[in-house]
Chains A and B, each alone.
Chain A
């Protein structure tokens, strides 16, 4: 091969951004087109440095906006390359139009989204507003809780997206600063082992295959548009989930690290459960264990795969639980939290009827402390004892001023 390999220690102390950049290097991504934005900048900066230091045989394309970044990624992916980029917040918002283009064109791009609040007011810190903005875009969405996950999920994302039965793009989400700028031990793969998991990219319907000419970016009006969208949704609903399970299993065989579409912790006999995403999952796991020493049977349920939404697996995870708190780290904009709605929809169709209450927390990077979570579990336990939700359905955690509660 024409590029150099990098010696890594078995455990490196990396932040989430560096972990993602190293994964892009080890996957030998052909093209990264990027317009850097805080807090995701070090991912594409890392790729560019690896590329210019001859650790990657690929191309880094500088563009004039995030809209152009994803547009260039679409062009490179349609041409037949393995393609990735990264963004956050306002940049993600500017990319939205092209996100629908890439999924509709069935291009297996991997987008690292370092979750950050959306302005106004301007804020560079982590919440899930941008992640939620992507949830109807037809992409697969993976969620990392720590730098190790951010590393691993990039390999998994390429493997799922590039499968010829899938051919849908993936986002790998990590929490801005709380994961992206937090250095922790990351168990690495050497370059050969890492690359062998994703393997050589085999494009499908690539424009540079002149023997088999194809058209990309077509127009369909009412005669065909609905069928395209319905088939894309059908593949998300039926083909992607089993493929993700298979890739998770292959990854466990490859590395010993196990991922599940719905992650459950201490749920075997749990009475009360907290549902959340991102770094909060790990903090909550720690608090759940501590609650158990106080006699409260506490558990945690989290999504590893946000889209396609693992509806049946959520029902399974909550089948014996009595009360659930659903945490949303995004301004709800005049409605219940998005995850609250989705968990309620899944549990409405389930056989049991747990008490479900929703909480908005952590906007703009506001700290979710262990003390908050202790109060939360105690509140759930009170709901169980009362046999009903004793509070309003939507509350706010950690916001100053008079207590806010709705519904």
Chain B
């Protein structure tokens, strides 16, 4: 079982990102689950979304998890909230920030000694898609860090997931995914 927790603000696309990732993984025959913590949250409120991936049918519906990966797609949340909650020793963090990994860990001591990767998904999204929607680039970074799938395979499948969007936006998302894949460290 692979478990992922997303830290996001409502409106940044964490739910769409989690569902998109689930959709791509599902095509390879694995079982998936994508869900989120909802309230009557307004755009901008801190929220979390989740993925589970397994070889068997996923029956666990508890919201609690000790994630293998933590994705933070809003830079401030790494500082203002505890993104390390319910962590385990092997939890890996991919965090959107303009800071270097060293600078980030200095700013948020809870990340010290953790396996932290950084990538500026917000800037990438603004420069490619034209809006600060950092969900798809985060998945590009995840492909690099996890080595889950070949990036070309992933992009092909994401094109299908995003097919309802205008072609220009789909193309921009592909560039964003590739840039995050190349730039995460």
Chain A residues close to B by CB (< 8 Å): 11, 13, 15, 39, 122, 124-125, 146, 175, 177-178, 181-185, 279-280, 282-283, 285-286, 367-371
Q: Please, which residues of chain A bring their CB within 8 A of the CB of B32? A: 13, 183-185
Contact with A along B6-41 (1 / 0, CB 8 A): 000000000000110011001000011111101110
CB distance from A146 to the nearest CB of B (A): 8
Q: CA A15 – CA B33 in complex, angstroms? A: 9
| CB proximity to A under 8 Å, residues B99-150 | none
**B60 near A283 (CB under 8 angstroms)?**
yes
Residues of chain A within 8 A (CB-CB) of B59 are 282-283, 285-286
- Asked whether B35 lies within 8 Å of A282 as measured between CB atoms, the reply is no
Q: Is the CB of B60 within 8 A of A177?
A: no
Interface residues in chain B, defined as those with a beta carbon under 8 Å from any beta carbon in chain A: 18-19, 22-23, 26, 31-36, 38-40, 58-64
- Report, nearest first, the 4 A-B pairs whose CB atoms are least far apart: A282-B59, A279-B61, A182-B35, A183-B34
- Most chain B CB atoms below 10 A, which of A122, A124, A175: A124
- Interchain pairs with CB closer than 8 A, number: 68
Q: Please, which residues of chain B bring their CB within 8 A of the CB of A367? A: 62-64
Partner of A13, one of B22, B60, B64: B22
* CB contact between B35 and one of A11, A122, A178 (< 8 Å): that residue: A178
Which residues of A have CB within 8 Å of B18?
Answer: 183
Closest B residue to A175 by CB, please name it: B61
Q: A183 with B64: in contact, given A13-B26, A282-B59 (CB under 8 Å)?
A: no
CB distance from B48 to the nearest CB of A (A): 12
Minimum CB–CB distance for A14 against chain B, Å: 9
**A185 with B62: CB separation less than 8 A:** no
Residue contacts A-B, CB under 8 angstroms, 9 given: A13-B26, A124-B39, A125-B38, A146-B61, A182-B33, A184-B31, A282-B60, A283-B62, A286-B59
Contacting residue for A181 out of B38, B58, B60, CB 8 A = B38
B64 closest partner in A (C-beta): A369
| Shortest CB distance B52–A (Å) | 9
Given contacts A13-B23, A178-B61, A183-B22, 14 further A-B contacts (CB under 8 A): A15-B19, A125-B38, A177-B35, A183-B23, A183-B35, A184-B31, A185-B32, A280-B61, A282-B60, A282-B61, A367-B62, A367-B64, A369-B64, A370-B62
Give the distance in Å from the alpha carbon of A282 to the alpha carbon of B62 in the complex.
10
Q: How far is the CA of A184 from the CA of B64 in the complex (A)?
A: 17
From B23, B38, B58, B63, give the contact of A124 (CB < 8 A): B38
Q: Which of B32, B35, B61 has the most CB of A within 10 A?
A: B61
A369 B34 Cβ-Cβ under 8 A: no
Least Cβ distance of B30 to chain A in Å? 9
Residues of A within 8 A of B33 (CB): 182-184
Residues of chain B with a CB closer than 8 A to A370's CB:
60, 62, 64
* Residues on the A chain within 8 Å of B36, using CB: 181
Give bound CA distance, A39 to B18, whole Å. 19
Chain B residues contacting A178 (CB-CB under 8 Å) are 35, 61
CB distance B35 to A286 under 8 Å?
no
Contacts known (A13-B23, A13-B26, A13-B32); A184 close to B58, Cβ less than 8 A: yes
